[in-house]
Amino acid sequence: DQQVKQNSPSLSVQEGRISILNCDYTNSMFDYFLWYKKYPAEGPTFLISISSIKDKNEDGRFTVFLNKSAKHLSLHIVPSQPGDSAVYFCAASSGNTGKLIFGQGTTLQVKP
């Protein structure tokens, strides 16, 4: 049972355009959501997070939107840069346990 789903395995965008990565979840107990970026053979690095009490969080070029009623979150990167090319994982947790449930990841390719 996949509680966190990233239905798009890959995404390709042109440099300078907006990248939108989507994530859906099924567990209504999740109260904290995170996005991680991962390069091959490396561990994930934290990108941005959002608490369930908010619907938007912005950090520079990265913005995460949360739609609790739809159990959906998205990561917007604008403008996209070639260095953003990586695998992006969304993750969710509940009750500050620290246990993260990850989605399958979306491979983003930003073309120059």
Partner 1 sequence: GAVVSQHPSRVICKSGTSVKIECRSLDFQATTMFWYRQFPKKSLMLMATSNEGSKATYEQGVEKDKFLINHASLTLSTLTVTSAHPEDSSFYICSARGWQTNEKLFFGSGTQLSVL
CB neighbours (10 Å) of residue 29? 11
Parallel, antiparallel, or unpaired for β 10-14 and 106-111?
A: parallel
95 lies in the site for partner 1, by CB under 8 A:
no
Distance CA(23)–CA(4), nearest Å, equals 7
- Give me the amino acid identity at 81: Q
Kindly tell me which residue out of 33, 105, 108, 110 binds partner 1, with binding defined by CB under 8 A: 105
Lay out the sheet containing 62-67: strands in order across.
4-5, 19-25, 72-77, 62-67, 56-59
99 lies in the site for partner 1, by CB under 8 A:
yes
Q: In whole angstroms, how close is the CB of 17 to partner 1 at the nearest point? A: 25
Task: Annotate each residue in 73-92 with x if it binds partner 1 (CB under 8 A) or - if it does not, as one string.
Answer: ----------------x---
Distance CA(73)–CA(96), nearest Å, equals 19
53 lies in the site for partner 1, by CB under 8 A:
no
When the beta carbons of 99 and 111 are compared against partner 1, the nearer one is 99
When the beta carbons of 40 and 112 are compared against partner 1, the nearer one is 40
Kindly tell me which residue out of 12, 18, 29, 46 binds partner 1, with binding defined by CB under 8 A: 46
